[in-house]
Amino acid sequence: MNILQVEDETEWFEDTVKPLLFDIGVTQVFHAATYDSAIQILTENDVDYVILDLAIPLNKDNPVPEVSNGLRLASYIRKEYSGTPILVLTGQQTEEAVEQFVEDQEPETFWDGKRKSLVKVRPKRRVNEAILILEEAVKELDIIDAIEIEVAGCELDFLEKRVIRIFCKDNSAIGAKARLLNDGLSSAKVLEVKLIGQNGHDLPWTSLVKIDIKQKIDKESQNFKSHVNKLPVASYPNVLNEYVAGCGDKKGIFYRFANHFDSNYFDHLNSDEDSALTILERIRSILDTWSDNKEVKQVSVGAIRSLICSDQKFENLLEIRNRLGLEDFEVKKLNAYYSIQHADLHGLNVLVSGDLNPILIVNGQLN
């Protein structure tokens, strides 16, 4: 485990904390004495856990320790490296300052399989309690990082593999086979994952994982809860769990689906026009659930145009707009039907079973 300790009392850190961290099996300990130096270390290194003293200086030019700097750093980590756990060490004057910050944190599935906040607080005077927390975390993460992952069709970075490893541990698997399903233009990786059980054989069910930055996976998760689960049964895979702890800025959402979805819509489009048309009709039938629940809204022409051509792109057409008199036209009002639409529904995002039943596997872009 790589730990970043943010502490302006360097002598106390070197003499008291650092030796204890190496005793419990920490691989590398980074040290930052200021807000700015902590940001630099986070940017340049893989950090698994942060120990944070709240009262820290901003930088060398502003050497006075301020609680606001520690809270600002904690907020930065939660935003930019959402999966990185934080252990806050407080003095008597800083305990109340951190209470609201901790209360605002949503629980996540941690390395031991339990749902808990990724932010913990301990007073400096009880540093041995903090070390015990870290010792348990080191043991759990060592087990996770030792899990074997076999990948086909793409390269996964260390954090992307860790997402799958945490899923393995949470399901008592000793390894996994991952195969790329969607090689699109986005930053997301969509993979089929087969878990290997304790007996060395594949488990009898298959999962699908989408791995991306946390904000995009959060959007996917919200879309599923608000819209996707209203579609007909068996037209989408069910969510198993989401994992972010220890995964930096990455997050994974796992779905469960049957093994017999072994082709995608593009495969049929390229090989059999009749089957492609059958699948397309079934996709339309699935999406009728959304279009049938349309509502009428009175909106401007400009609001409708912005769904097709963004305001930013439209600004580049100033000369054409002026020549056609579009400014007056865009403010006109009209009644329009609104319903949920899938904005990323291409062939790779539609898996197909042997009996030509489609299943939608990517739901991050619903409008």
The answer to whether 209 and 191 are in contact (CB under 8 A) is: yes
The answer to whether 65 and 56 are in contact (CB under 8 A) is: yes
Burial of 213 (0-12, 13-18, 19+ CB in 10 A): middle
The answer to whether 134 and 126 are in contact (CB under 8 A) is: no
pLDDT at 287: 94
The answer to whether 250 and 232 are in contact (CB under 8 A) is: no
- CA distance to 61, 296, 313, 337, per residue, from 301 (Å): 53, 14, 16, 13
The answer to whether 52 and 74 are in contact (CB under 8 A) is: yes
pLDDT at 259: 67
CA atoms lying within 13 Å on the CB side of residue 43: 8
Helices within the chain (DSSP H only) = 10-12, 18-23, 35-44, 67-80, 95-103, 127-145, 158-170, 214-226, 265-271, 273-291, 301-308, 311-315, 318-324, 326-330
pLDDT at 359: 92
pLDDT at 205: 84
pLDDT at 318: 79
Q: What confidence tens digit (pLDDT) does each residue in 249-281 have?
A: 999 999 987 667 878 999 999 999 999 999 999
Q: How far apart are CA 156 and CA 19, in angstroms?
A: 34
pLDDT at 183: 64
pLDDT at 94: 60
Residue 186 DSSP symbol: S
Closest CA to 131 of 246, 17, 5: 17
The answer to whether 82 and 244 are in contact (CB under 8 A) is: yes
Residue reference for tokens 């769990």: 241
Q: Which domains does the chain have, with CATH numbers?
A: 2-144 (3.40.50.2300), 147-261 (3.30.200.20), 263-360 (no CATH)
Most distant CA pair in the chain: distance in Å?
75
Burial of 2 (0-12, 13-18, 19+ CB in 10 A): middle
Six token digits for residue 271: 């090989």
**One-letter identity of residue 160:** E
Burial of 331 (0-12, 13-18, 19+ CB in 10 A): exposed
* pLDDT-flagged residues of the chain (< 50): none
pLDDT at 184: 59
Six token digits for residue 230: 């209203």
- Helix and strand counts by DSSP (H, E) for the chain: 14, 18
